[in-house]
Structure 1
Amino acid sequence: MSIDLHDAVAVVTGAGSGIGRAAARAFARRGARVVVTDLDAERARAVADGLDGLGVAAACDVTSLDDLQAVKDLALKRFGRIDLVMNNVGILAVGPAEAIPLDAWQRVIDVNLLGVVRSNLVFLPVLLEQGAGHVVNTASTAGLLPYGFDRLPYTATKHAVVGLSEALALYLRPRGVGVSCLCPAGVATNIVEQITFYGQPAPPQGPAFPVVDAESVGELVADGVTENRFLLLTAQGAAAELRDLGADVDRYLSRLIKDTP
């Protein structure tokens, strides 16, 4: 079920910068042809142009089913197939729970969660018909562990992406399609551009994970795809935290509450 990235065709959303750009580069280094998509067409083009002839760029808003359909059509027209889809777009609304307005919640859900849903509607029929391929969904350690109370819409959608990915693995893997869920902790990217602040946010309370560079995360994703691994963590300490949480949720939460300033 693992795929060889050499000569594979990958579609990456949110690939104009950060983790998406790093993953696109890592896929191309392994010989994949990459459809680089981003809301910012110029950023997408710059990344695609740097892939030594293996990239093609497309503007794509993941809140638009038509945009995703156009990306699929471009990939099939240019390369004849699609082997890998990485859903990587994410935005944040940050502030106290009582200060984040409903329209901010709706926007985050539309991008972070329904963006993946739309991608599934467009690309899964292609992968299922050929009986092979791989899907990577970018979630977050905030979707695994209860520390993101300063960014609740993001936290809620990333928990949803984790659950969606787990269920998809049960459904797709028997049909020849692999699934990976990337859960980054601190990564040096320009995600601050995608944050809207409300009120006076309190610092999140939780484990202190090291910040890693985006390029190492791109390599992690490429290796995870070729090895058909499900959970991809940028901070190995997150696995121990997840085990502690699973062993006794009440004890874990009580520890965090006690440590909250």
Structure 2
Amino acid sequence: MKELRDRVAVITGAAGGIGMASARALSRRGAHVVAVDHAATPELAADLSSHGARAVAHVADVSRPDVFEAVRDRALDEFGRVDIVMNNVGVLTNGLPEDIPAAEWQRILDINLMSVVRSNEVFVPLLLSQGEGHIVNTSSVAGLFTYSYDRTPYAATKAAIVHLTEALAIYLRPKNIGVTLLCPGPVLTNIANDIPSFGPGAPLRLPFDEFELLDPADVGEMVAEAILANRFFLPTHPAVLDLLRRRVEDWDGFIEYQISRKPKT
């Protein structure tokens, strides 16, 4: 995608954090935005529109099986097309592996993973029919390697998104549809607010010291530039590359090193 002016982007989780920052970055480049969130408000649309292009806010619970048909229809009614789809919603939960119940696993799967599956079901055929477009799926460094056992459902869904997104790239790139896998490290968002905790809870284990806390606005700029460059792998922290090499060279040793690290609170 060589330019973003007058393109139309659908972004889930757009009311804050990386989603809002990406919406702003795209809007500044002239893209119109359908901002999807359970907390989407007219004020959100006004904020995004102030950055240079039109935006509409669409209230939706992405864990519902039928929600993306309505999102698609809203986008087509407002703008006549969809060019970019960013599946960005993600929620956390906390607990030791033996304490997180299957019902909580199902909740996390429905929001983090199945929302992407359902989005693909609706938007991939639309992009194929247009013969162009771009998909951005937000995973996490937690989906690339394991640094914690206190949020296993979250990490498992993010790892699944890595594989799902790579498969999409293999399929869609030859059909003129770009695919980007966004893998943020620590970013200053509200995802950690009000995390449900099970059992006695588990100490919060964070990524390595090399991972500085980023401003969401910086990540939004990375997303916009990745779409323009048709870039697949977008880690926000380059240090993850050395860690991935370290793990593949000595996975047992990497696990022992992880065990030796002290949880941070």
Pair in the same fold by TM > 0.5: yes
2-side partners of 1:35 and 1:260: how far apart?
42
> Which residue of structure 1 lines up, in the alignment, with residue 43 of structure 2?
46
Task: Return 5+ residue gaps in structure 2 as ranges.
Answer: none
2-side partners of 1:260 and 1:121: how far apart?
42
> Which residue of structure 2 lines up, in the alignment, with residue 21 of structure 1?
20
**Residues 218 and 82 of structure 1, relative CA distance in 2, 3 Å threshold:** same
Shift of 1:246: 2.2
Task: Return 5+ residue gaps in structure 1 as ranges.
Answer: none
> Which residue of structure 1 lines up, in the alignment, with residue 93 of structure 2?
93
Aligned 1:58-73 pairs, distance under 5 A: 58-73=58-73
2-side partners of 1:79 and 1:218: how far apart?
22
> Which residue of structure 1 lines up, in the alignment, with residue 216 of structure 2?
214
1:200 aligns with 2:201: yes
Aligned 1:163-242 pairs, distance under 5 A: 163-193=163-193, 195-198=195-198, 199-204=200-205, 206-208=207-209, 209-242=211-244
Residues 14 and 40 of structure 2 are in contact (CA less than 8 Å); yes or no, is this contact kept in structure 1? Answer: no
**Residues 247 and 175 of structure 1, relative CA distance in 2, 3 Å threshold:** same
Identical aligned pairs, as a percentage? 48
Cα displacement string for residues 107-132 of structure 1 (whole angstroms, at most 9, x for unaligned residues): 00011000000000011110011110
Residues 134 and 225 of structure 1 are in contact (CA less than 8 Å); yes or no, is this contact kept in structure 2? Answer: yes
2-side partners of 1:27 and 1:194: how far apart?
29
1-side partners of 2:225 and 2:238: how far apart?
16
Shift of 1:140: 0.3
> Which residue of structure 1 lines up, in the alignment, with residue 102 of structure 2?
102
Two-structure CA RMSD over aligned residues (Å): 1.4
1-side partners of 2:83 and 2:174: how far apart?
16
The worse-fitting range, judged by mean Cα deviation, of 190-199 and 110-119 is 190-199
Shift of 1:240: 1.2
Given residue 219 of structure 1, which amino acid in structure 2 is its aligned partner? E
Residues 9 and 34 of structure 2 are in contact (CA less than 8 Å); yes or no, is this contact kept in structure 1? Answer: yes
Residues 147 and 206 of structure 2 are in contact (CA less than 8 Å); yes or no, is this contact kept in structure 1? Answer: yes
Shift of 1:260: 5.0
Given residue 200 of structure 1, which amino acid in structure 2 is its aligned partner? G
